[in-house]
Structure 1
Amino acid sequence: MAKLTKKQKTLAEKLGDNQQLYPVGEALALLRELKTTKFDETVEVAMNLGVDPRHADQMVRGMVSLPAGTGKTVRVAVFAKGDKAEAALAAGADKVGAEDLMEDMQAGNLDYDRVIATPDMMGVVGRLGKLLGPKGLMPNPKLGTVTPNVEQAVKDAKGGQIEFRVEKQGIIHAGIGKMSFSDTDLMTNFDAFVDAIVKAKPSGAKGKYVKKIALSSSMGPGLKIDTTEIAGA
């Protein structure tokens, strides 16, 4: 990391108490002032949830559309035939196919962020389970990636829809935009993401659900967020 300026050192000293809680707007301002890199860093949110995902009734997983987008290019592959394939291409899919797409993936071409399939193609997609599963790319009807409406699914993926899934330690995280975004856009995305997690509270969750929330940039510090004003937290 680049050497801190005098101003940045002063700000870093303010962060000495890592127990301090910040409103979202103040945290974003601090991240901008502490930024030392030249590239457009991703703004990331991490949430510590009161769940144990080893139990099926405490799993937290789903999709959420970020209103201001993600700021990144999303590569989408679609398994479909006929009119559905044409609709997927028209919607902006990067690769569309059937058995030919399966063979392409088996050859190692897996540079995609989202894989979508029509229900009738799952017999073909199923043969890719060992390749797509570990990468989190296996189409799933619960996530809307197995659907007859591939056109809308592609548009959602390209337009800022992201998947979330809680990890073993009860932590869930995602990128909610870029440092080049306005504070308004980042706060809108933050609210949409947190709201989706709160609404996805599983039936088996006991006690406090949202324990901690932190905001950070790709190369910046993690700042703890004051959750008192977050409904349902």
Structure 2
Amino acid sequence: MAKIGKRTATARKAFEGKTIVSVEEAVALIKSVASAKFDETLEIAMNLGVDPRHADQMVRGVVQLPNGTGKTVRVAVFARAAKADEAKAAGADIVGAEDLLEAIQGGKIDFDRCIATPDMMPLVGRLGKILGPRNLMPNPKVGTVTMDVKTAVEAAKGGEVQFKVEKAGVIHAGIGKISFSDEKLAENVRAFVEAVSKAKPAGAKGAYLKKVSLSSTMGPGVALDLASAAK
């Protein structure tokens, strides 16, 4: 505990006076103090001027990060026959129909993304109360209900990140690993911010992007200069 406390104190001291910085400055600062024994994730938090309780202010979408997330994503696909074969060939970790339904109902959820062909949705719909709270429910708006399962699986495996605003108007996501180069992390930051900016709902009023912060898994956060993040 003493070592952890010392590392935290050192990190916070390095952040003193750094209130609002450019993307490049933030990435360099965060990497300089990241000292966990594992490869920490660079995390982004965006405070938006929306109230997601209103349907016309919901923010949801997907972004293909130019340099991936550095995370191994396990993909489950609901499909039959030729589409099931297509999913397996594309690298899906789990492919099934009724058998996959039963496994999930039994509490076995060992995947990070769930994809389904449209004809499977009546079956998948039974899992709404299980997959919905985990943000795993297939949805055509983010490309996880599709006949093109090959593209969907490859995108999920290749660094695609889904985002959805939370009740407090915040979007949070992991967008790379601290071991990535500064340049790759900066590219991922701007790609994510751009995607969320483009997803601005019609009902949003006033300032949409209110605050954007970066942090590592175990480190303190720093606010970004919005002009720098939006470039």
The answer, yes or no, to whether TM exceeds 0.5 is yes
Secondary structure in 2 matching 1:133: helix
1:43-122 counterparts in 2 under 5 A? 43-122=42-121
1:3 counterpart SS class: helix
Superposition RMSD in Å = 2.0
Q: 1:5 to 1:119 in 2, by over 3 A?
A: closer
Mapped contact 1:2–1:36 kept (Cα < 8 A): no
Which residue identity does 1:23 align to in structure 2? S
Segments of 5+ residues of structure 2 without an aligned counterpart are none
Whether the 8 Å contact between 2:22 and 2:229 is mirrored in structure 1 is no
Aligned pair in 2 of structure 1 residues 11, 222: CA closer, same or farther (>3 Å)? Answer: closer
Determine if contact 1:88/1:151 at 8 Å carries over to the other structure: yes
Corresponding residue for residue 3 of structure 1: 3
Instruction: Please state how far the C-alpha of 1:133 moved relative to its aligned partner.
Output: 1.2
Shift of residue 228 of structure 1? 2.4
Q: Is structure 2 residue 132 aligned with structure 1 residue 133?
A: yes
One-letter amino acid of the counterpart of residue 208, structure 1: A
The aligned residue for residue 153 of structure 1 is 152
Cα deviation 1:52-110 (Å, max 9, x = unaligned): 11111111001111110111110110010111000100000001011111111112111
Equivalent residue pairs, number: 231
The letter of the residue matching 1:166 is V
Counterpart residue identity of residue 219, structure 1? M
Instruction: Give the superposition deviation at 1:7.
Output: 10
- Say whether 1:16 aligns with 2:16: yes
CA, structure 1 residues 7+49, in 2 after alignment: closer, same or farther (shift >3 Å)? closer
1:204–1:5 Cα change, 3 Å? closer
Instruction: Indicate the SS of the match to 2:3.
Output: coil
Deviation at 1:15, TM superposition (A): 2.5
SS of match in other structure, 1:228:
helix
1:15 partner amino acid: F
Deviations 1:129-182 (A, max 9, x none): 121111111111111111000111000000000110011111111101000001
Task: Say whether residues 1:204 and 2:203 are aligned partners.
Answer: yes
